[in-house]
Amino acid sequence: MHSDLTQKDIVSYVALGDSFTEGMSDPYPDSDSVPNGRYRGWADRVAEHLARHVGEVRYANLAVRGRLAGQIMTEQVPRAVELAPDLITLCAGGNDIIRPGGDPDATAQILEAGVARLSGTGARLVLFTGFDTGSLSVMRHLRGKVSTYNMHLRAIADRYDCDVVDMWSMRVLADPRAWSWDRLHFSTEGHRRIALRVCEVLGVPVDEDWGAPWPPTEPRDWRSARQEDLHWAREYLVPWIGRRLTGRSSGDGLSAKRPNLEPCSPCE
């Protein structure tokens, strides 16, 4: 039985992962540039929600875009163990699986090694399944790999008594408005809904429903859709392929946005 975080006077929270946990593409209003501006994302939002119900929340976000599972385990997990928080969220493996030849079985083994080490801290540990890529043309072919990884992840969660945020079942994420222009990262609204879902798993009260229906949209003509596809291919697909071919990452040279446990203010 997991402890009720909202009954504590002080809660420390560390978020581990890649671009998903870093918060791309959910910039703060004061972000001056993208992709190097300040991102908010679901993890920041969860910390803010938690701060509404706890005397003090100390929050660190060690996630860096582009990181593979092995990098997260070697770069971020030791720091999380050192910080000894009450709550740890870990989402890893997505960048491994989307790469050519990505092996969900091998990636799950890497993940389990990190989970085993984190579980020794006594922190409440939250894992995330991969989302259903069936509605995304650019990633539809990965659906089988993601589902295989999800089965491994649930088994790992059972072995180490972890909470699981089931992203696969969040059908609201199939709507294009849950995704940013790059079609690889969630939009501000996508991050907001994911944060609400995480709070639900943690038992943190919220006033909104993550699964609320999307409002109706105006139909688009095929010319507009075609122009959007061309823009996406030029601005996002070609650079992504270039990084894969040259072994580069969008996170090269970047470090964690919140490397230390620092006070977090409630959301407005």
Three-class secondary structure assignment of the chain? CCCCHHHCCEEEEEEECCHHHHCCCCECCCCCCCCCCCECHHHHHHHHHHHCCCCEEEEEECCCCCCCHHHHHHHHHHHHHHHCCCEEEECCCHHHHHCCCCCHHHHHHHHHHHHHHHHCCCCEEEEECCCCHHHCCCCHHHHHHHHHHHHHHHHHHHHHCCEEECCCCCHHHHCHHHECCCCCCECHHHHHHHHHHHHHHHCCCCCCCCCCCCCCCCCCCHHHHHHHHHHHHHHHHHHHHHHHHHCCCCCCCCCCCEEEEEEECCCC
Q: What is the pLDDT of residue 138?
A: 65
pLDDT reported for residue 230: 56
In tens, the pLDDT along 156-212 reads 999 999 999 999 999 999 998 998 877 788 999 999 999 999 999 999 999 999 999
pLDDT of the residue at 35: 43
Q: What is the pLDDT of residue 31?
A: 56
What are the chain's domains? Answer: 5-211+222-264 (3.40.50.1110)
pLDDT below 70 — which residues of the chain? 1, 30-37, 136-138, 220-252, 268
pLDDT value for 36: 47
